Amino acid sequence: MPKTILLTGGAGYIGSHTALEMIRAGYEVVVADNLSNGSRESLNRVERLTGVRIRFYQADVRDARALEDIFIECDIGGVVHFAGLKAVGESVEKPLLYYRHNLDATLSLLEVMARRGVGTLIFSSSATVYDPACAPVYTEDAPLKPVNPYGWTKFMCERIIKDACAAEKGLSALLLRYFNPVGAHESGLIGEDPRGVPNNLMPYISQVAVGRREYLTVHGGDYPTPDGTGIRDYIHVSDLARGHVAALDFLLANPCVDEINLGTGRGCSVLEVVKAFERASGRPIPYRIGPRRSGDIAAFWADATKARKKLGWEARHDLSEMCADAWRWQSMNPGGYEL
């Protein structure tokens, strides 16, 4: 019998791509999402791509009673916890909202898992937990020191999960620290569909390319990097999704508690991304160099060794494929899922 895995926040960007890869790997997938930033249509499209029906519950993870009903009804055997708020700037403006939301969601999930005797958890953490003083290459044992409330919620959730694992023999968890997920499934049917003005680089560039925005503002051209623009470790979302399958396979066979970077181990600058996107789309991406964005650092990327050694996973797609797939998604769905 395949294990039934609950994806909280599975109707979002990373969750929908992970649902697809998990179904292809033979897992049965159940999604609980309150649709605050996700779309039911993303799962309809995963169903189209896989030919498999996904059990979907429009539910808030903070509602422990609703969550427990799902565990009972579906006989959940493990959880991938994506659900949460993720906008860095908004977290600076509304810190209490972020602490309340992200901590409550994780606490309520852990309580229900304990009550139902479910002992396998994969958690969506972030490279933003690391101390920027350790940049540019982050290894998992680098000191942690987030610089915004969103990052602190990830730090605190990691701590809470580790303490729960220490207290409960049957609970094991992998804390996956994502670098910069970009791109879309190669079919162009699912992708990133941000609401309002995109905060992140790749969706902003995609919207410039498709004519929804006039030009890109490059946040800073005077960093101590070869071309003066910020450097990040962009990772194709389908590689990231396969990283979750590898993590789940591993955790089910080897219960433990550990943190693992999911990145490529290579950094690219903003202008390298702009040029790669121009090549992939055949369209010019007008840009203007603006001031630095508050809270940004010059450069960071993953040491991706641990994921390779422990999970047998590594990223396959390069920047040109990330841009080509982001462009396919954007040009096939210029208004996202709704239009």
Does residue number 11 form part of the binding site for ligand NAD (CB under 6 A)? yes
Task: Answer yes or no: are the C-beta atoms of 32 and 10 closer than 8 Å.
Answer: yes
Indicate the residue whose CB is closest to ligand UFG.
230
Identify residues 178-207 at the interface with ligand NAD (CB under 6 A). 178, 180-181
Q: How many CB atoms lie within 10 A of CB 188?
A: 18
Determine which one of 13, 27, 130, 150 is catalytic: 150
Residue with smaller CB distance to ligand UFG, 17 or 232: 232
217: left (phi over 0), alpha (psi -120 to 50) or beta: beta
Residue with smaller CB distance to ligand UFG, 8 or 126: 126
Residue with smaller CB distance to ligand NAD, 226 or 295: 295
Identify residues 59-88 at the interface with ligand NAD (CB under 6 A). 60-62, 82-84, 86
DSSP letter for 310, please. I
User: From the CB of 314, what's the least distance to ligand NAD, in Å?
Assistant: 18
User: From the CB of 169, what's the least distance to ligand NAD, in Å?
Assistant: 27
Which of 192, 252, 247, 267 has the alpha carbon at shortest distance from 39? 192
Residue with smaller CB distance to ligand UFG, 43 or 270: 270
Does residue number 30 form part of the binding site for ligand NAD (CB under 6 A)? no
Locus of tokens 């290459």 = 137
Residue with smaller CB distance to ligand NAD, 123 or 223: 123
User: From the CB of 290, what's the least distance to ligand UFG, in Å?
Assistant: 8
Task: Give the CA angle between residues 200, 202, 206 to the nearest 5°.
Answer: 120
Q: Is 111 exposed, middle or buried (0-12, 13-18, 19+ CB in 10 A)?
A: middle
Residue with smaller CB distance to ligand NAD, 101 or 328: 101
User: From the CB of 254, what's the least distance to ligand UFG, in Å?
Assistant: 26
Q: Is 132 exposed, middle or buried (0-12, 13-18, 19+ CB in 10 A)?
A: middle
- Chain residues binding ligand UFG by CB under 6 A are 86, 88, 126-128, 178-180, 199-201, 204, 216-219, 230, 232, 270, 293, 296
Does residue number 243 form part of the binding site for ligand NAD (CB under 6 A)? no
Does residue number 223 form part of the binding site for ligand NAD (CB under 6 A)? no
Of 26, 35, 48, 286, the one binding ligand NAD (CB under 6 A) is 35
Task: Answer yes or no: are the C-beta atoms of 95 and 155 closer than 8 Å.
Answer: no
Does residue number 15 form part of the binding site for ligand NAD (CB under 6 A)? yes
Three-class secondary structure of residue 126 per DSSP = strand
The phi, psi pair for 94, rounded to 5°, reads -130, 65
Q: Could you tell which of ligand UFG, ligand NAD, none binds residue 201, using a CB distance below 5 to 8 A set by kind?
A: ligand UFG
Three-class secondary structure of residue 219 per DSSP = strand
What is the DSSP secondary-structure string of 56-105?
A: EEE--TT-HHHHHHHHHHHT--EEEE--S---HHHHHH-HHHHHHHHHHH
Does residue number 91 form part of the binding site for ligand NAD (CB under 6 A)? no
Cite the active site residues: 150
Enumerate binding residues for ligand NAD (CB under 6 A). Answer: 8-9, 11-15, 32-38, 60-62, 82-84, 86, 105, 124, 126, 178, 180-181
